[in-house]
Amino acid sequence: MPDRPLIVLCGPTASGKSALAIRLAERYNLLLISADSRQIYRDFDIGTAKPTAAEQAHWPHHLINVADPGDTYTVAQYQQAVTTLINAHPNQVPLLVGGTGLYIQAITEGLQIPAIPPHPALRDQLSQLGQAHAYALLNAAEPEHKIHANDAVRTLRALEILYVTGQPPSALKARATEPPYQSLIVGLQPASMAILETRIRQRTQAMLAQGWIEEVQQLQAHYGADLPLLQTLGYGELGRYLQGELSLLAATELIVCHTRQFAKRQMTWFRRTPNLRWFDMSAPDLEARLCQQIEMVLSDGGGTTSAKLLWLCPAQAGLHKLPQHIQRSGQNNRLRLSRQGQLCKGDNGCNMGKLRLVRDRDLTQRLGWHRLMLGNG
């Protein structure tokens, strides 16, 4: 069984994931990793609801702004980047947050995805067909695909994989024999779609007030209006407004409508996710309940082997942040481990209550996790 814990916060767009994730990451010193396929790209900021510069400065966000808008960033690249990040931060539990279901599935289920490199020449030929023609080709080749008709980026990538390998993308995905992490997957959902639509409408108006139209103009001037990312949700509708095809009111209503449809598809995807625990995104006690879930994972209530490290950390700077029942459990198990010879008292420069692990090499290697997680590093 995997013993490295992973926390996932997912749900539809406009459900409040990002702001909540920042608070949770700060509270538990989590490694915050974006799982959003558009926030990967630089310069696409307002329309992707990317965390602001101030939010990113307040707490480190990973896998945001790592690719140029003209580049193709594949699921295989994302999977490798997340794995590298997690391995490079052994003293933090990762928190994966976002609404791109395939990104999340690739990490939690360990999908074995072939790293098929982009083929610019083929992509150029396919893009010249236009989105409607390209999408019709994809429908003919793989009728059961889940790509939206307006998603030019994923349409071109799917066709690229199809022509290079002779197989549709779905045929190339295979689950690993064992999930790589012990995952706590929590999802935010609305009590009704009407509630979510209200949030979508409010957020759309806020984005417009923040300068979304000006962002689209700058992107068109820098990258060209035919950039595939500029045909995606929100950007495509505003592009049509700038071309005089739509009034601003009509473009805004289309953005709200298309975003609502996108959110429903996200909900459909996540409802198929094994072991996902749903929470009402509007519940007044939402954050407190999520904290309980996270603390269960960190205290072994979630079944993670790594929670043994709480038993090895008596430093009050860490223990006082946890509920009393977890503190008692940690102290009791520390005594048990000491009687078994797994702990010995001694100075040795230890800054965790002057205790040193002497027998269990595996736990020794992971000792740093809770040192930082509980604020002792």
* Alpha-carbon torsion (64, 68, 74, 78), positive or negative: negative
Per residue of the chain (377 residues), what is the pLDDT tens digit?
A: 577 899 999 999 999 999 999 999 999 999 999 999 999 999 999 999 999 999 999 999 999 999 999 998 988 899 999 999 999 999 999 999 999 999 999 999 998 877 777 777 777 777 778 888 888 888 888 887 878 787 888 888 888 888 777 777 777 666 555 789 999 999 999 999 999 999 999 999 999 999 999 999 999 999 999 999 999 999 999 999 999 999 999 999 999 999 999 999 999 999 999 999 999 999 999 999 999 999 988 875 344 333 333 333 433 333 333 444 444 444 444 444 444 444 434 333 333 333 333 333 333 333 333 333 333 33
Pairing assessment for the beta strands 355-357 and 343-345 based on DSSP bridges: antiparallel
Q: Give the Cα separation of 266 and 189 in Å (integer).
A: 10
In this prediction the pTM is: 0.72
Using DSSP, how many helices (H) and how many strands (E) does the chain show? 17, 7
Q: Which two tokens stand for residue 75?
A: 């699921």
Are 106 and 115 in contact, with CB atoms under 8 Å apart?
Answer: no
- Distance of alpha carbon 143 from alpha carbon 154, whole angstroms: 15
